[in-house]
Amino acid sequence: MPGIRKPDHAPLELERFVPYQLSIVSNTVSQAIADDYQQRYDLGVTEWRVMAVLARFDGLSAREVAERTAMDKVAVSRALARLVAAGRVRRETHSDDKRRSVLDLTPAGWRIHDEVAPMARQRERELLGQLEPEEQRWLRSILDKLMPPEA
């Protein structure tokens, strides 16, 4: 039976500490989503995020993908290498600027996207389903406020 500490050290109560709670909730739901597709499609979280932005915006460069996914350029480069090798993303070189790539989902990439996206949405529904409609609205507006400007 462990003892409760004296209060003069003012220890943190992890389970009521908001950054800790955010981390647990975030990891739990992200893991649940990842479990849906990781093994099934041999697709990592970073790769899925890249596919998700390319589904919305085609012709992006790798740097633009990095901006929109809050990933760094090395992570994007590695994810793209795998996606291109797997035939899920097409990579061409920009005609005016030969440093830049021009990225698109291939038909195979679209097929995977169209299967994974509904699963991700379903998990989001399950998460929000634990809340009352009023709470769902508060959570959304609070997260909008807390999101860093760049992201």
For residue 49 the two structure tokens come to 């995020």
Work out whether 69 is an interface residue with DNA (CB under 7 A). no
Q: Per DSSP, what are the bridge partners of residue 105?
A: 89
Smallest distance from the beta carbon of 133 to DNA, in angstroms? Answer: 34
Nearest to 117 by CA among 69, 70, 55: 55
Question: Do the beta carbons of residue 105 and residue 84 sit within 8 Å?
Answer: no
Q: How far is the CB of 91 from DNA (least distance, A)?
A: 7
Q: Is 101 in the site for DNA (CB under 7 A)?
A: yes
Q: What residues numbered 22-61 form the site for DNA, per CB under 7 A?
A: 44-46, 61
First CA to last CA distance, the chain? 46
Closer residue to DNA in complex, CB, 80/105: 80
Chain residues binding DNA by CB under 7 A are 44-46, 61-64, 72-78, 80-81, 96-101
